[in-house]
A and B are shown apart, each in its own frame.
Chain A
Amino acid sequence: MRIFGVLFRLAWRNLWRNHRRTIIMLGAIGVGVWAMIFMTALTRGMVDQMITDSIGVLPGHVQMHHPDYQDDPSIANRISISDADLKDKFDDAGFEAWASRVRVPAIITSERESRGVTLLGVDPAAESEISFFDYEGVEGRFLDDAADKGIVIGEELADTLETEIGKRVVLMSQDPDNEIADRGFRIVGLYSASTKAVEEAYAFIGKTTAQKMLHIDDATTEVVFLGDDYRNVEPIYDAVTSAVDDSVSVRRWYEIDTYLGTMMNVMDGFVLVWVVVIFMALSFGLVNTLVMAVFERVREIGLMLALGMKPGSILGQIIIESMLLMTLGLAAGNFLAWATVTPLESGIDVSIVSEGMEMWGAASVLYPKLYASDMILASGVVLLLGFLASLSPAWRASRYEPVEAITKV
């Protein structure tokens, strides 16, 4: 291993021998790595937000339902465990962010219009940990407690219904006996969400009020649980599963919203493909540089062989040189990515295509996210593939015949 020092010194000095070539190559690697990480950060930010938003609105990280609820989201398929029992089960078991809700389809009617909505009967105290929007940001006020008699709807829905805070709307749904269950509400607040579709879809009322309106006593239709990281929901899933019997079904968010689950996996795949594609585009330049470097140095490589250096050391020397080049390029690229993504983390406004982003399921402000794991992945892939790409020119160099190489003009 003592020879490593001399190999490293040779590699480093040789790297700067043709400084223009090295700088161009560093530029290329830097730009490539920057693009890898920058694009990944954008994608991650978009998917993160889509998922966090949707998890707020939709399933939580883990959700519990009546087994038939997913196919038939009706009040008939409510959870058989009473709210009080749920409290015993989960509060005492140390679940921090969880809430039980009444969620049923309903029709909301103003003086002028009617629309189908998803009615959510919630307990504001429990929801504050979980829900997708900021209670402070609600125009007017959010529900005070589970027995609140008011309703909170989205701004977009209020527009469509031509109604406003203080006005009355009628909610119509169905009780367990298939009778129409309806009730008038006064609008107490308007929320805004990251997409219009969400603002149009959900109407919030107090949980107890909902239970009374639907004649379901102390029952709820869903219980949601939130953990720290949407990518790691297994601990909560296991804990919930072991706390209940099979009269309810417990599912993870990606089993409920398969589009999101797929999106996450596809994006993970995309990140890797993108990194590899960029590397391939770089590899031609890298191999080219090494081939030329070896070609120019035939004579001195011959000299080193003649003096008794082992072919393996020649191979190592070229590979070290290539790895040095990669490492410097990676450092530049990672720094560049960090320097460009960090100022953008407060959000990139893409609202000129907001409706288009909504079609993809994304919001109109992108928040790029720089993950250390992505930077490490990109750097790791580049180093590994860079190593493989250097093998051929390095191997060639180590196979020179000293006599021929030294006498080559």
Chain B
Amino acid sequence: MKIVLRLAWRNLWRHPRRTWLTTGAMVFSNILLVFMISLQFGMYGLMIDNALQIFTGHMQVQAPDYKDDQKMRQIVPDIVPLAKTIREELDSEMVAARGLTFALASSEERSFGIGIYGVEPEFEARVSNIPGLVSTGRYLAESDAAEIVIGGVLARNLRVGVGDELTLLGSGLDGSFAATVVDIVGVFDSGVNDIDRNIAEIPIGLFQDTFFMEGAGHQIVIVGDGLGAVPELQARVQSVLPADSNLVVPDWDELLPGLKQAIQADMGSSFFMYFVLVVLVSFSVLNTQLMSVLERTREFGIVMALGLKPGRLGRLVVLETAMMGLIGTAIGIVAGGIVTSWFTTNGLAFPGMDEMAARFNLPARMYPEINAFTLLAGPAIVFIFTMLAAIYPAVRLRWQNPVDAMRVA
């Protein structure tokens, strides 16, 4: 066996330049794949985290169909006590009740239609990063105070600041006219234009009084210890819901179907690109190995005439390809890892990226995420395709007749 290995190795270096060029194609693709896959998965992780951290949480308790329609009357009754029960069951503070409606917010000079969240001030900060993003003034303090925090763009559009009053006009749960006057205590800047322009938060007690909610709300947001723990948490939450209620516990994926699909759409186009790269590398390998078989036709003819079976020669070709593939894979993983590591510490930015990133609430610099999967997936596939490319040249040997082979000059 050892002699076969040595033979394969020597054959590989008969044309060092050719071997290096073919390996180079693999290394090039591997570096690119490691980098791109790491970058993508880093970005996806961030996209999910950031999207969920703003409002959605890992799961919510809602009335059925609320996630599709978000209508005023699709309520969770007695929402504050229910949130308390869930907190106790989970032994976690990361549970908060909310109400949501749309109303006209009017300052002295301007009026805009906005979304108004009624939140539990003491727990909201555990499930959402909005409270932490208050840049002027403070966040809400008491559950019944006539206070509001609004987005920065909204404040500018309404021409108001901390200390000013806003009038909220809307409809109550029963469809009747609802109105209240609140003091602006804080302005938040999330950096996401849609949120900063359209959203305000008031305490849930005030929300329930103003919109005649009779103790009800629309969603209880729950955050767990990471996405992996979601199914288990979901089951526990489900178990403490009142037996006679038809409330549901959709997880983040059901709440924001667009998020996963945005990732899938992006993955789809990326995988097309990766596939093309891999196919091009296979062509390169196929070409090299076919050349190396054809130019050795005479030599193979002689050893076959000596009684060596074509199958063994085929295995030799496969072995040579495997050696070349391993070199390309090893160098590719190391070089790809080095290049990617540099970007994991220094980040990557290109002109225009901040605009694109803001749409997904992402930072303007992207940091790839290296792990075993992102490091090995690409090179592994390149290696597999490299081996597939060796099949034709190896099989071709079987068709060869030793005498014909020897006759080739």
Contact = CB atoms under 8 A, between A and B. Distances in A.
Contacts, number: 199
A178 B262 contact: no
Contact of A174 (B110, B264, B266): B110
A353 B265 contact: yes
Nearest to B284: A285
A138 to B, nearest CB: 23
Nearest to B104: A107
Interface stretch (A27-35, A147-155, A185-193): A27-35
A327 interface: no
Interface stretch (B53-61, B70-78, B216-224, B227-235): B70-78
Instruction: Identify which of A172, A173, A355 gathers the most chain B CB atoms within 10 Å of its CB.
Output: A355
A206 interface: no
Interface stretch (A78-86, A238-246, A286-294, A314-322): A286-294
Interface stretch (B83-91, B139-147, B268-276, B400-408): B268-276
A234 interface: no
Nearest to A71: B156
A279 to B, nearest CB: 10
A359 B48 CA distance: 13
B9 interface: no
A20 B263 contact: no
B322 to A, nearest CB: 19
B169 to A, nearest CB: 8
B25 A284 contact: yes
Interface in A330-370: 350, 352-361
Interface residues of A, number: 69
B287 A288 contact: yes
A269 B350 contact: yes
A353 B22 contact: no
B175 interface: yes
Contacts of B73: 112
A210 B51 CA distance: 37
B22 A288 contact: yes
A112 B71 contact: yes
B99 to A, nearest CB: 14
A259 B287 contact: no
Contacts of A353: 261-262, 264-265, 268
A113 B71 contact: yes
B261 A354 contact: yes
Contacts of A115: 102, 113
Contact of B157 (A24, A72, A288): A72
A247 interface: no
**Interface range for B:** 35 or more
A289 B283 CA distance: 12
A160 B74 CA distance: 12
A288 B110 CA distance: 70
A73 interface: yes
Given A28-B283, A116-B113, A281-B280, A292 B355 contact: no
Contacts of A174: 106, 110-111
Given A39-B273, A160-B69, A160-B71, A24 B108 contact: no
Contact of A274 (B22, B263, B273, B280): B273
B148 interface: no
B360 interface: yes
Contact of B261 (A35, A109, A355): A355
Contacts of B112: 105, 116
Nearest to B261: A356
Contacts of B258: 355-356, 358-359
A247 B193 CA distance: 28
Contact of A291 (B17, B71, B356): B17
A128 interface: no
Given A21-B290, A74-B110, A284 B24 contact: yes
A388 interface: no
Nearest to A350: B265
Contacts of A178: 106, 108-111
Contacts of A266: 350-353, 356
A356 B110 contact: no
A27 B273 CA distance: 17
A159 B70 CA distance: 11
Interface in A236-282: 258-259, 262-263, 265-266, 269, 274, 277-278, 280-282
B162 interface: no
B166 to A, nearest CB: 13
Given A76-B110, A281-B28, A357-B262, 20 more contacts: A20-B294, A28-B280, A31-B283, A39-B269, A72-B157, A113-B171, A263-B355, A278-B280, A280-B28, A281-B29, A284-B284, A288-B21, A288-B287, A292-B18, A356-B258, A356-B264, A356-B265, A357-B265, A360-B262, A360-B265
26 contacts: A24-B287, A24-B290, A25-B283, A28-B287, A105-B112, A106-B113, A113-B71, A114-B102, A173-B111, A178-B110, A258-B355, A259-B355, A259-B358, A262-B355, A263-B356, A281-B28, A284-B24, A285-B287, A291-B17, A292-B15, A353-B264, A356-B260, A356-B262, A356-B266, A357-B261, A358-B258
Interface of B: 15, 17-18, 21-22, 24-25, 28-29, 32, 69-73, 101-104, 106, 108-115, 156-157, 159, 169-171, 175, 198, 257-266, 268-269, 272-273, 276-277, 279-281, 283-284, 286-288, 290-291, 294, 350-353, 355-356, 358-360
Q: Which 3 A-B pairs have the closest CB atoms?
A: A356-B261, A116-B113, A284-B25
